[in-house]
Amino acid sequence: MATGGGLAMQPLCQVLERVDREEPAGLDDVSNRELADLLPGAGQAIMTFRIGYPTVAAPPSPRRAVEEVLLTAAP
């Protein structure tokens, strides 16, 4: 839906990695509190993204042909 609306998205793992790291490392849970402030109600982030309108067109993602990855049963 985002692409269809002209938006670009990029996964951002660092946000959730920082939240997961703070408690075990004995750090103040600043990232967890700030992330909670961004979520509605009692929501929980599972995956975060950078999202916006691209300034340049992205090249197509490289893909292998289906025939290269299709598994067939052995005779």
Count the helices and strands in the chain (H runs, E runs).
3, 2
Write down the pLDDT at residue 51: 93
Mean residue pLDDT across the chain: 86
Q: What is the largest CA-CA distance in the chain?
A: 60
Banded model confidence at residue 53, pLDDT cuts 50, 70, 90 = very high
Q: How far apart are the first and last CA of the chain?
A: 42
Determine the residue type at 1.
Answer: M
Please report, rounded to a whole number, the percentage of residues in the chain having pLDDT higher than 90: 11
Residue spans of the domains in the chain: they are: 1-55
State which H helix or E strand residue 61 sits in: none
pTM, rounded to two decimals: 0.55
Catalogue the E-assigned strands of the chain. Answer: 8-11, 49-52
Is the CB of residue 3 less than 8 Å from the CB of residue 54? no
Query: What number is the average pLDDT over the span 4-33?
Result: 88
